């Protein structure tokens, strides 16, 4: 059983954070909220998104697991204006999700969860450097790196207490430094890793410009990025695997 | 003889309502205003547009019939700002239309009316169900149906006094119900017909979001849609033939 | 040595005026400011752009000549908000230009100036007709002509004291007349020349809508257009060669 009401913009934010990585996903319907974990086909980018029951106007479930086509569900959520309420109700018998927005009813055929790629477990990494940065600064870093390269290096200089972004093109280079004054918070520790820019560009699309993003970084280690939405009742964690650096 | 002055936005609204169906059309220059009737090449969608002489700043004609390329005439009207006046004058000798907007003169070669597809007569159908609906609700219906199908069913449930929209996709369905509270007016009568969504999407482009649209519906019958523009001095009627329903 | 600070929007305006004609250019670093002269590959359109040292927040050079990829330099300038300052510093040894905007550093590889097409000298032409016209009227002329033709005739009728624009299509014609009341200034003299519309469209992209543009015109002669930017401290001159008129 699943019967819930949520605002259209909260639903969209939750779905957008996952759809930048995968087309289909499993949604866990738990008593304390919903959770989606997914990894892209190349096993490079992972996401763990939770939306607490308290983020919903009403929320009832006795647990369950459904598989959905994300683009389709996003289109439906997009039919609602920002504040409009979306009513979601699972029909256990037909395995369809009934979605209602202001007189509009959409019947969404679910996907067999077993046919969807297995969910990842995002490992605890205990990374040495932590940075809290505004979403708009991630956007700026990605845009700058994109001018010269397909890769982007993220690092922390523990001596100078700086977070930095590097991108090296065939002829041109980009370098961005943010110190404690530019950042919301910085726990210095040696960190430098190279990432595929395409993945970071996609993740950036789902990060609100005014979000406080907590990044965890290491030496040739994955980067983790955490941010909240829906007034803190929604939480997204991205993990992006590093590229091997050719010396 | 034809010599008239009209605001650019009124001219554009008149032309747009026809150009969503055809590329060329005949314009009747009558003493009480202009009229355009046209049917698309597949004989599925028809339009009858009239713009009264009183909608013009000045209007003089002794009658006539001209053939025009609609895209071209729309481009010219688009050179004017919303409130700007467009001066139209027919040169009988050269069969050209002189169009002037704020110092800009455009000489438009007319098309031989005999080379343009014959005009339709929109039949009186005496349809059982009448609905008066806001343009924005037609837009919403079309957008919702477009998520799942190329077809859209429009109907009236006379028992429940409801107007409804149905679209059935391969796996997903959309259903929208509008009752008397959602509609401007409803005269119930049994009605249900299936239409090609492409045509309704095109007609929807020309329907202002805040227009009051009167729809006439029947069982496996064409739908008629009427709306006004130019403060009631312009009137558009669309008629759309139904698709045969495969049972 | 070259070390200068300038606002992002001033830098963009300077670069845009040149990039509508060429992809690469030489920049003269003179003591009193920078200058770019360029001609398109077909030798039809020329530009001479100067930006005075006083338009910069700070400006130091002992002279020099650098070659740049304009699209790349525009992208970098585009990373700054309108009022943000861009710091430009030439590294003589590596022949790279260091560009810094609010913590972002971009290292731009320069192009060997000898590999860039030779700079034109814009000749003094002593043309008989002078017109001072708003940028928005050039935009309107170009848009109107574009409806019917790939060419545009610009002329001055010295008897009627009019500036006019003519475009002749296969079936339709466009004619625009601006008299002394519509223009900022007019020094009448017989002038009529035909131009390629594509070039004028490109130049128009770089002309602000509210700019006062001084045009110099003759009989089958090039047209010259001058306008200022950066509060008069930047100056652009375009010269466009006429097309031979087929009689």
A76-122 confidence digits (pLDDT tens) = 999 998 789 999 999 999 999 999 999 899 999 999 999 999 999 99
A209 at C interface, C-beta within 8 A: no
Q: Looking at the complex, report in whole angstroms how far the Cα of residue A109 sits from the nearest Cα belonging to chain B.
A: 6
Query: A23 — phi, psi (to 5°)?
Result: -90, -30
The stretches of B78-196 forming alpha helices (DSSP H) are 135-146
Neighbours of C232 (CB within 10 A): 10
* Listed residue (C17, C49, C15, C51) closest to C33, CA to CA: C51
Q: Do C178 and B103 lie within an 8 Å CB cutoff?
A: yes
- The number of residues making up chain A comes to 247
C76 at A interface, C-beta within 8 A: yes
Q: Do A109 and B182 lie within an 8 Å CB cutoff?
A: no
Neighbouring chains of C at 3+ CB pairs under 8 Å are A, B
Q: List the strands of the sheet with A212-217, edge to edge.
A: A64-69, A24-30, A33-39, A45-52, A234-240, A223-229, A212-217, A129-134, A185-187
Residue of B nearest to C143 (CA): B79
Q: Do B175 and A76 lie within an 8 Å CB cutoff?
A: no
Residue B246: per-residue pLDDT: 59
Contact B229/B208 with Cβ under 8 angstroms?
yes
Q: Do C147 and B103 lie within an 8 Å CB cutoff?
A: no
Closest CB from C143, C172, C182 relative to B107: C172
Residue C14: per-residue pLDDT: 98
Q: Looking at the complex, report in whole angstroms how far the Cα of residue A12 sits from the nearest Cα belonging to chain B.
A: 16
- Domain C2-115 in CATH 3.70.10.10? The answer is yes
Q: How far is CA C108 from the centre of its chain?
A: 24
Residue B81: per-residue pLDDT: 86
From its phi and psi, is residue B220 left (phi > 0), alpha (psi between -120 and 50) or beta? left
Say what the ipTM of the complex is.
0.88
CA–CA separation, C168 and C150 (whole Å): 9
Helix axes C8-19, C70-77, angle to 10 degrees: 150
Residue of A nearest to B162 (CA): A103
Closest CB from B143, B172, B177 relative to A79: B143
Instruction: Spell out the residues 6+ positions from residue A109 whose beta carbon is closer than 8 angstroms to its own.
Output: A95, A96, B171, B172
Residue A83: per-residue pLDDT: 85
Low-confidence ranges of chain C (pLDDT < 70): 245-247
* Listed residue (B30, B77, B82, B83) closest to B52, CA to CA: B30
Closest CB from A79, A104, A109 relative to B172: A109
Low-confidence ranges of chain B (pLDDT < 50): none
Chain B residues with CB inside 8 Å of C182's CB? 103
Q: Do A182 and C103 lie within an 8 Å CB cutoff?
A: yes
CA dihedral A37, A43, A44, A48 (to 10 degrees): 10
Q: Looking at the complex, report in whole angstroms how far the Cα of residue C144 sits from the nearest Cα belonging to chain B.
A: 7
Quick one: DSSP state of residue A210? T
Chain position carrying tokens 């070259």: C2
Instruction: Spell out the residues 6+ positions from residue B77 whose beta carbon is closer than 8 angstroms to its own.
Output: B8, B11, B12, B15, B86
In chain A the first and final C-alpha atoms are separated, in Å, by 55
From its phi and psi, is residue B64 left (phi > 0), alpha (psi between -120 and 50) or beta? left
Q: Do C144 and B104 lie within an 8 Å CB cutoff?
A: yes
Q: Looking at the complex, report in whole angstroms how far the Cα of residue B191 sits from the nearest Cα belonging to chain C.
A: 46
Quick one: DSSP state of residue B114? G
Residue of B nearest to A106 (CA): B174
Neighbouring chains of B at 3+ CB pairs under 8 Å are A, C
Chain position carrying tokens 């679910």: A110
A241 at B interface, C-beta within 8 A: no
Contact A236/A47 with Cβ under 8 angstroms?
yes
Residue B245: per-residue pLDDT: 64
Q: Looking at the complex, report in whole angstroms how far the Cα of residue A174 sits from the nearest Cα belonging to chain C.
A: 5
Instruction: Spell out the residues 6+ positions from residue A136 whose beta carbon is closer than 8 angstroms to its own.
Output: A209, A210
DSSP bridge partners of A129: A217
What is the radius of gyration, based on Cα positions, of chain C?
Answer: 19
For the record, the structure tokens of A157 come out as 């200089």
Instruction: Spell out the residues 6+ positions from residue C12 whose beta carbon is closer than 8 angstroms to its own.
Output: C74, C77, C78
Element (H, E) at C198: helix C197-206
Q: Looking at the complex, report in whole angstroms how far the Cα of residue A35 sits from the nearest Cα belonging to chain B.
A: 24
Closest CB from C75, C103, C109 relative to A147: C75
For the record, the structure tokens of C149 come out as 């033709």
**C129-240: CATH number:** 3.70.10.10
For the record, the structure tokens of A185 come out as 């918070």
Average pLDDT of the residues in A36-59: 97
pLDDT of A247 above 80? no
A79 at B interface, C-beta within 8 A: yes
Q: Looking at the complex, report in whole angstroms how far the Cα of residue C174 sits from the nearest Cα belonging to chain B.
A: 5
pLDDT of A222 above 90? yes
Contact C151/C194 with Cβ under 8 angstroms?
yes
Residue B82: per-residue pLDDT: 78
Chain B residues with CB inside 8 Å of C171's CB? 109
B105 at C interface, C-beta within 8 A: yes
Q: Do A106 and B178 lie within an 8 Å CB cutoff?
A: no
CA–CA separation, A12 and B32 (whole Å): 52
A117 at B interface, C-beta within 8 A: no
Instruction: Spell out the residues 6+ positions from residue B83 whose beta carbon is closer than 8 angstroms to its own.
Output: B7, B8, B9
Which three-class secondary structure state does DSSP give residue B54?
Answer: helix
Q: Do C172 and B104 lie within an 8 Å CB cutoff?
A: no
Quick one: DSSP state of residue C44? -
Chain A residues with CB inside 8 Å of B136's CB? none
Chain A residues with CB inside 8 Å of C107's CB? 172-175
Check for a shared fold between C2-115 and C129-240. Answer: yes
Residue ranges covered by each domain of chain A: 2-115, 129-240
The matching CATH number, chosen from 2.60.40.1180, 3.40.50.12780, 3.40.50.1360, 3.70.10.10, for B2-114 is 3.70.10.10
Chain B residues with CB inside 8 Å of C143's CB? 79
CA–CA separation, B146 and A79 (whole Å): 12
């Amino acid at each position: 059983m699943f019967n819930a009401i949520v605002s259209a913009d909260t639903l969209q934010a939750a779905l957008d954070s996952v759809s930048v990585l995968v087309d289909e996903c499993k949604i866990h319907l738990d008593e304390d909220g919903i959770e989606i974990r997914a990894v892209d086909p190349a096993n490079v980018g992972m996401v763990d998104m939770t939306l607490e029951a308290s983020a919903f106007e009403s929320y009832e479930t006795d647990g369950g697991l459904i598989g959905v086509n994300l683009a389709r569900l996003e289109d439906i959520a997009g039919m609602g204006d920002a504040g409009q309420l979306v009513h979601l109700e699972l029909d256990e018998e037909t395995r369809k999700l009934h979605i209602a927005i202001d007189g509009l009813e959409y019947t969404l055929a679910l996907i067999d969860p077993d046919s969807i790629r297995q969910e990842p477990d995002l490992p605890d990494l205990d990374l040495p450097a932590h940075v809290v940065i505004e979403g708009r600064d991630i956007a700026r870093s990605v845009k700058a790196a994109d001018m010269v390269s397909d890769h982007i290096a993220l690092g922390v200089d523990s001596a100078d207490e700086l977070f930095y972004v590097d991108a090296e093109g065939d002829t041109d280079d980009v370098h961005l430094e943010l110190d404690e004054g530019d950042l919301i918070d910085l726990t210095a520790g040696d960190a430098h890793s190279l990432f595929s820019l395409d993945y970071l560009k996609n993740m950036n699309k789902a990060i609100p410009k005014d979000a406080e993003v907590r990044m965890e970084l290491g030496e040739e280690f994955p980067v983790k990025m955490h941010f909240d939405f829906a007034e803190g009742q929604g939480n997204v964690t991205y993990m992006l695997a590093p590229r091997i650096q050719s010396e």
